[in-house]
Amino acid sequence: MAISTRITEMLGIEHPIVQGGMMWVGTADLAAAVSNAGGLGILTALTQPTPDELRREIERCRSLTDKPFGVNLTVLPSVNPPPYADYRKAIIDSGIQIVETAGGRPQEHVEDFKSHGITVLHKCTSVRHALSAVKMGADIISIDGFECAGHPGEDDVPGLVLIPAAADQIKVPMLASGGFGDGRGLVAALALGAEGINMGTRFCVTKEAPIHDNVKELLIKNNERDTALIFRGFKNTGRVTKNSVAEKVLEISARPDVEFKDIQPLVAGAKGRQALNSGDIDAGLIWGGQVQGLIHDIPTCQELISRIVAEAEEIIHTRLARFARG
């Protein structure tokens, strides 16, 4: 028995499970595997060095799956911002029908995507930002709790409160994001008012994820306490996996006169990519959420999604049904 929601209907997918965009990880190999397993795989646009290379990666993904997949475009503050408009054009010209947007001031991008009939899924970390995104035209909101990897915002509201708070005010379909990795989480998300889940860290620990096994084994070994919050003083909080680089960033950031340039060499994206590719877990930052405490193996995407759905159905039809007997 399938779990059908507005999310599955709008995105044309079998299961209400989305693989969020992840820098260096959201490649055709992972996105296609997620889509082939009945979820929605998402390519990360800025993982590709140029818009033309993004076009080629989209075509590569099409060669690996005939199922729906999307592309993520994240807009973040940067000293030298990438050519966002050119990446956006590459997405549109390639005929992509689903886009995940994230980051600040997405209006220009959302409006252009919408004008081309693209379904826009916008990731938010607060109810107020979700309401703004809906006004801009977002079709689906991914509401991202404090447990998440990446940038959880500055409000520190965990999913158990944030998801129902958003559901009280958001009328478009919602994905719950941050801390999800199994069937229990999917059922909880549905109970809290979401219509599916968005997973990042959990998909990193799959056979198809294009990262070194050393990193996958680290995420398995870790528990829910093995993350660190960096960039707090710069109002750009990020949750990463604990390693020596994260600890050094925290140490420097504790200085009263710290400036971003003091930590910039440590947090360079190229170093994070080196860590993921080489397996040297202290080469750079490794982004990861608290869901690490729930990750215990390295399945294929097919095995993972099938297991999540089967577990969710068993909880709904057996465990919860037993509690509801009057």
Note the pLDDT of residue 265. Answer: 94
Residues 309-319: tens digit of each pLDDT = 999 999 999 99
Give residue 226's pLDDT.
98
DSSP-assigned states of every residue in 113-155: HHHTT-EEEEEESSHHHHHHHHHHT-SEEEEE-TTSSB---SS
**pLDDT tens track for 139-161:** 999 999 999 999 999 999 999 99
* pLDDT, mean over the chain: 96
What confidence tens digit (pLDDT) does each residue in 105-141 have? 889 999 999 999 999 999 999 999 999 999 999 999 9
Using alpha carbons only, give the angle 118, 121, 123 rounded to the nearest 5 degrees: 150
Confidence of residue 2 (pLDDT cuts 50, 70, 90): confident
**Residue 49: Cβ within 10 Å count:** 9
Identify the sign of the CA torsion 24, 78, 121, 224: positive
| Residue 80: pLDDT band with limits 50, 70, 90 | confident
User: Is 55 in contact with 90 (CB distance < 8 Å)?
Assistant: yes
What pLDDT is stored for residue 1 in this prediction?
62
User: Which 3 state secondary structure label does DSSP give 99?
Assistant: strand
Of 247, 224, 237, which is closest to residue 156 (Cα–Cα)? 237
Q: Where are the beta strands (DSSP E) in 168-212?
A: 174-177, 197-199
Mean pLDDT over 102-107 rounds to 89
For residues 314 and 326, what is the distance between their CA atoms, to the nearest angstrom? 20
Distance separating alpha carbons of residues 121 and 138, to the nearest angstrom: 6
Q: For residue 87, which of 129, 57, 126 has the smallest C-alpha distance?
A: 57
* pTM for the predicted model, two decimal places: 0.97
The ranges assigned to domains in the chain are: 6-210+297-323, 213-290
Strand order in the sheet with 197-199: 17-19, 197-199, 174-177, 140-144, 119-124, 98-103, 69-75, 41-44
Q: CA-CA-CA-CA torsion for 250, 222, 277, 308, nearest 10 degrees? A: -130
pLDDT value at residue 243 = 98
| CATH superfamily entry for domain 6-210+297-323 | Aldolase class I (3.20.20.70)
With a cut of 70, say whether residue 28 has pLDDT above it: yes
